[in-house]
Structure 1
Amino acid sequence: MPVNLRLREFFCLIVLSLISVSAVFSQQRQVTEVAPGVKKITIGKTDPLTPYSFCDEKPQVAAMQKLPAGNLPFDINSIGINISERGVLVEVPLDDKEQLYGFGLQIGSFNQRGLRKKPIVNDNPSTNLGYTHAPTTFYVSNKGYGILVNTARYTTFYCGTTAKNVNEVKASSQSNGGNSVSELYGSKGTAAGYVSADVPGAKGIEIYVFEGPDMLSVMQRYNLFSGGGALPAIWGLGVKYRVKADFKQDQVKKMAAYFRDNHIPCDVLGLEPRWQTASYSCSYVWNNEFFPNPQNLIDSMKRQGFHINLWEHAFVNPKSPLYTQLKNKSGNYLVWNGLVPDFADKQATKLFADYHQNTFVKQGISGFKMDECDNSNITMGDATWSFPEHSRFPSGLDGEQMHQVFGVLYQKAIYNIYKQNNIRTYLDVRASSSFASSYPAALYSDTYDHNEYIGMVVNSGFSGLIWSPEVRESNTVKDLMRRSQTAVLSAQALYNSWYLQNPPWLQINIKQNNNNELMANAKEVEADVRKLLNFRMSLVPYLYNAFADYHFKGIPPFRALVMDYPNDEKVHNIPDEYMIGQGILAAPLTEKQNERKVYLPAGNWYDYNTGKKMDGGKEYTINTSFTELPIFIKEGTVLPMAKPVEYVTPDTKFEITCYVYGEKATGSLFEDDGVTFNYDKGNYNNISLNYQSTKGKAERKGNFKSNRFIIKKWEVIK
């Protein structure tokens, strides 16, 4: 054999050896602690653009250090990770009794144990597979830990559903098949061993592991790691009303007058698509035919205590002043003949944000409804309006990855305008993703099942998300009032009348409503709705404190009972009760219910409507009237309730009655200007509320110089 051929073979062997060594080295995992109680596993060639790569907010390390230390129920090195030609497979240990929750704003499922979940962004979350407006690749266990697979790729989780062909396998008790198709295929998988996460196409992966020691601590770590929970402008916790899509300027003013003349609380008026010269896709230019003097509208509404919120989406019409600038900074496919901005590109984001700042925010627009940033319904072949998964963007993202993060990047672009101007807001958004805790944006949906809306309030707390179970039309007055009760007991009290001439409480029939034919009992129903909305305004100080706990401590303001009571097996599968703040348990009813069962966890509770003391660890049957609220107060709670106001201004003083539940009780209030980010500089007060020995005491500590909350009296509930 010639010498040069032998040399060539020798060098080939060396090269192959180096490649082999390199491959082995590249798949060596690294485990690092990236924040107190948060570890990151890295292996292989990870994607440069991931959900966490877009998180600009820094972890609140000081707050995380105050949390109790957590221990994983397994060795972190026992998390299996395999990289193959298919992609990445992650296998997380799972024991027989673990219960799993999360994966974003899930609909149709609560306890995810035994399910196959595919958290993909979709405009119609109609099944329990995982398609949703706000998917996250994050789940939390009642054993006190959370797992986040940091990828924007479509990922499938098998939550203890599959058994491996290893060692000996016990014979199945159903080896002869069932007696019916439903018996044969309908049994839910309960295999122990692992949660498997399948990430096709990935060449490497990052996994974030959040330690407990309990579920609530896990969520605190996750939210604080994401920058802390959102703290909306205080006026955003009032009432929002979206007017009919084709309303003109004088009709908006007339609707505003209706609210003030009838003393119905309202803080925000939302304008729908026709305010623009083009809306599918968007021009972001005022329609002078409908709004001849928009600045006059903004200013006059402000004088009456209203904030203006504008509907839009991010697809840029050729008529828009932004079109030429964004032409080469957008995806290679159009939506409604409009550009899809590459929000993963900082220059594209800046162009979009600067235009909104100069054209709208500086003129006094207080927020935006960011619509259509999810995906056309991937369960239907004729739903094709959005950009395809094979799209390409200048940043390097493909359409699949962009769909998963588009909503959160859109939020960030708009939110940062307000933050940079030291103005707080409360936004609406159609899609979100992981690490979105710090964005004050309430999610909404075109679906309208009331049970699902309640379930999404509960599930939102597992993923750092805010959900708004808005009220649109209703089947009956009963349906309207039950939906209104849920809206009042949620993160955003919203009525969306985009296709109604009049408020839904004046006429529930759509055709008659738009013909201005009001119900005979319209004023009676209006009075009942007013009572519920006044309750909402009374609750604003309590809710504001709950959101402050969200921001500074990471505690979800709305959360499932299992988060507070993870060892109580009776709450593991309760999808329609939830905690509000530290002391309120809510159990909404729907139109189909004249009564419902409510389980109260350990401890003593009080029926808010009757003051009756109730033993925990038991189930009760309740039936609340339309103007009562289905809530229960935990013993030991001081509940600060304000004299209702019709709207909140920077100068609003809340007159507080402290309701005391128990012989010894505590509560708190967070006090600042409510409209700026000055709290980040320490310009706020904490007011501790303590009652014992027949005496109540409010102690104010902090640097905020004004008194927004005036403690008027204490009332003991016996």
Structure 2
Amino acid sequence: MKITLKLLILTIVTGCLSSHAQTPPISGMDNLEWEKIMPGIWKASIGETQLNALDYATAPKIEAIEKLGETSFPLNRESTQYLLGSSRASIRLPLDETEKIYGLGLEFEGINRRGNVYTLKVDHYGGVQGYTHAPVPFYISSKGYGVLINSSKRVKIHVGVGNRKDGKLPIPIDRTTGKNWAARPLSDAVEASVEGKGMEIYVFGGRNLLEVVQRYNLFNGGGVLPPKWGLGFWHRMNTHSSANDVYKEIEDFKKYDFPLDVIGLEPGWQDFAYPCSFDWDKTRFPNPEEFVQTLLDKDIRVNLWENPYVAPTSTLYNDISPYTGSHTVWLGEVPDFTMEEAQKAILHHHQKNHIDIGVSGYKFDEVDGYDVWLWPDHATFPSGNDAVEMRQLYGLIMQEMFSDHFKKQNKRTYGLVRSSYTGASNKDFVLYSDYYGHEGFVTALVNSSLSGLLWTPEIRSAKSAEEWIRRFQTVSFSPMMQLNAWASSTKPWSFPEVTDMVRDVVELRQKLLPYLYTAFYEYNQKGIPPFRAMVLESGYRSSEQIKDGKLDDSKNPYAEQNRIEVTD
């Protein structure tokens, strides 16, 4: 047996759930009422919601969903329940003893979510369960169904953790004298709640896990179909680079015989950054029109870095300031992009100063976390929308705004974004992060495919030539092959002893472009992720292996074990 992924620390429980002929009644909870809205898709609503993430998703591909055929409702309806309190809404959905749960957005550790509690908060990844760039409240079960908890509040979800006294309970075991005592006894439910007045719940059926994910992606418009150049090789310049530095870099790529499809300009292209002016620095780029056209003539696209916070020195400032929030980020004003006026102001500025001269796309940074940087939960916005919901949806709204803007002009774009959420599969953006652990690269790629996301592990630097080539190899099989040298100034040839090997990898990427483009077409038309977890593949079998935990009065007082996934 071969170990494929190290999973999160979970509890091994060998005791069986008590036998019940029927699901016991849950006190104080009401049954959810399900409405079939499309083949294999059901919806239930409780209470009221404010901002709706699905309002920023692309319209469903109904015909493609219909081609998948009908499926029966995959849950015991009597076991799907909710409770609506004065300040919190919660649901309880059934969970069998052997079910594995996958998804919940972009995660860098593990794949099976069962046995843990997640607070799904858009944030810079920091090891907290659920704090991540794209904490999508969508999970899929090994039994062949998926659940979307549609709320723009922060969803707190107990995945098989927490035992109601009126639910199915395991047989209690005395910790001192018995065996297999568990700190987290096996639970018979997924329980989720939001601090708010309601939520929507969607259930997606399927004959297998891939079909469940297909339905979810198609429900959100299918997957993105990037331009061919977007799947080529990207190189981001040092932030202090000038137009002349870029020209020299391009000549060096030619000298070392490396393909180059996109040049990314980092903060220094602007005359003020952190917050941003969105205006060209005329010292480094005295003639932006000529610069962009020169690169286009060489068949190289230009991608501009920015964060959305508007500097007082920006020529955009007066137009957008009336439509910004109560708090600043790095002393820049925060546009309320739920307002049409704010969207018009930012898009007009970008069109006039960037897109009209040939800029092909953007990298939207700093829309995820930390709390010490971004606006507080009690901030106010002129639209009246809640600051927590704004934080959850901010990156998604920016993706929708710019994707739609380019589409209206019949222009293709492909870019990067630092946060995302529900319904992002059809957006022209790839997630990235300041995550540097190579081991987590593959795990994040795996998990992103389960939640309608694209994620790229950027190449930045390495401690050795071997690590350098390994990072190139990994990134070559991701939605975007990019070297981000914004601080390091690294080049593909920075480790001379493996330059030929790196070139081979980049050339392999170029040779794979027809296959990659076909895979993305399948994503667009059928909802099949182009890079996906093995659990979505037909015939894949996995089991779990337990490594014994050792009782320790300081480091491991509950003697929890490590669960790892293995494949036959």
Give the structure-2-normalised TM-score: 0.88
Query: Residue 146 of structure 1 contacts residue 211 of structure 1 at CA under 8 Å; is this kept in 2?
Result: yes
Counterpart pick for 1:196 among 182, 191, 194: 191
Contact in 2 for aligned 1:144/1:218 (Cα 8 Å): yes
2:34 is matched with 31
**8 Å contact from structure 1 (residues 326, 341) kept in 2:** yes
Match of 1:54 in 2: 56
Q: Is the 8 A contact 1:461 1:558 kept in 2?
A: yes
CA distance in 2 between partners of 1:171 and 1:128 (Å): 31
Candidates 516, 522, 527, aligned match of 1:549: 522
1:246 pairs with one of 237, 240, 245 = 240
Cα shift at 1:316? 0.6
Structure 1, residues 194-220: CA drift from partner, whole Å, max 9, x if none? 1000212x2222111111122111111
- Name the CA distance, whole Å, in 1 between partners of 2:526 and 2:286: 46
Deviation at 1:305, TM superposition (A): 1.5
1:598 to 1:89, Cα distance in 2 relative to 1, 3 A: closer
SS in 1 for 2:200: strand
- Contact persistence 1:238–1:537 (CA under 8 A): yes
Say if 1:281 and 1:487 are closer, same or farther in 2 by CA, change over 3 A. same
- Partner SS, residue 467 of structure 1: coil
Look up the SS of the partner of 1:146 in the other structure: strand
Matched, 1:90 2:91: yes
The equivalent residue for 1:227 is: 221
> How far 1:77 moved relative to its partner?
4.8
Aligned-partner SS, 2:532 = strand
Compared CA separation, residues 352 and 170, structure 1 to 2 (3 A): closer
Indicate conservation of the 8 Å contact 2:460/2:490, yes or no.
Answer: no
SS at match of 2:299: coil
- The answer to whether residue 124 in structure 2 is matched with residue 138 in structure 1 is no
Counterpart residue number, 2:558: none
CA contact (8 A) 1:146 1:209 kept: yes
- Would the aligned equivalents of 2:302 and 2:361 in 1 still touch at CA under 8 Å? yes
Query: 2:117 touches 2:156 (CA, 8 Å); kept in 1?
Result: yes
Partner of 2:402: 414
Equivalent residue, structure 1, for 2:9: none
How far apart are the structure 1 equivalents of 2:541 and 2:171? Answer: 32
Q: Counterpart of 1:135 in 2: which secondary structure?
A: coil
- 1:120 aligns to 2:110 (yes or no): no
1:341 alignment counterpart: 335
The CA distance in 1 between the partners of 2:214 and 2:273, in whole Å, is 39
Deviations along 1:367-417, whole A, 9 cap, x unmatched?
1110001121x5xxxxx1111111122222222111110111111122222
Is 1:273 the counterpart of 2:267? The answer is yes
Q: Deviations over 1:528-558 (max 9, x none)?
A: 1111000000011101000000000000111
- Could you tell me whether the CA contact under 8 Å between 2:311 and 2:331 is conserved in 1? yes
Q: Offset of 1:51 from its aligned partner?
A: 1.0
* Mean CA deviation greater in 495-504 or 222-231: 495-504
Give the Å deviation of 1:128.
Answer: 5.3
Higher relative contact order (CA 8 A, sep 6+): 2
The structure with more radius of gyration? 1
CA distance in 2, matches of 1:48, 1:482: 45
Which residues in structure 2 correspond to 1:365-404 (within 5 Å)? 365-376=359-370, 378=371, 384-404=372-392
Distance verdict in 2 for CA 1:198–1:270, change over 3 Å = same
Deviations 1:656-697 (A, max 9, x none): xxxxxxxxxxxxxxxxxxxxxxxxxxxxxxxxxxxxxxxxxx
**Contact 1:138–1:463 (Cα < 8 Å) also in 2:** yes
1:331 is aligned to 325
Could you say if the C-alpha distance between residues 217 and 170 of structure 1 is closer, same or farther in structure 2, counting changes exceeding 3 Å?
closer
The answer (yes or no) to whether the contact 1:100–1:113 under 8 Å persists in 2 is: yes
Cα deviation, residue 328, structure 1: 1.9
Instruction: State the number of aligned residues.
Output: 522
Task: Name the aligned partner's letter for residue 437 of structure 1.
Answer: S
**2:94·2:188 contact (CA, 8 Å) conserved in 1?**
yes
1:29 Cα deviation (Å)?
5.5
Unaligned runs of 5+ in 1: 1-26, 379-383, 508-521, 574-596, 602-617, 619-718
Q: Secondary structure at the match of 1:109?
A: coil
Contact 2:430-2:479 at 8 Å conserved across structures: yes
The residue that corresponds to 2:451 in the other structure is 463
CA shift for structure 1 position 256: 0.8
The verdict on how the C-alpha distance between 1:167 and 1:464 changes in structure 2, with shifts beyond 3 A counting, is closer
Percent of residue pairs bearing the same amino acid type? 36
What CA deviation, in whole Å up to 9, does each residue of 1:257-297 have, x standing for no partner? Answer: 11123220110010010110111100010000111111111
1:561 counterpart residue number: 534
* Matched ranges for 1:506-545 at <5 A: 506-507=494-495, 522=496, 524-545=497-518
Q: Does structure 2 retain, via aligned residues, the 8 Å contact 1:69–1:213?
A: no
TM-score for both structures, normalised by structure 1: 0.70
CA RMSD in angstroms, aligned pairs only: 2.3
Structure 2 unaligned regions, length at least 5: 1-29, 547-563
1:241 to partner: Cα distance: 0.5
Distance 1:100 1:167, change over 3 A: closer
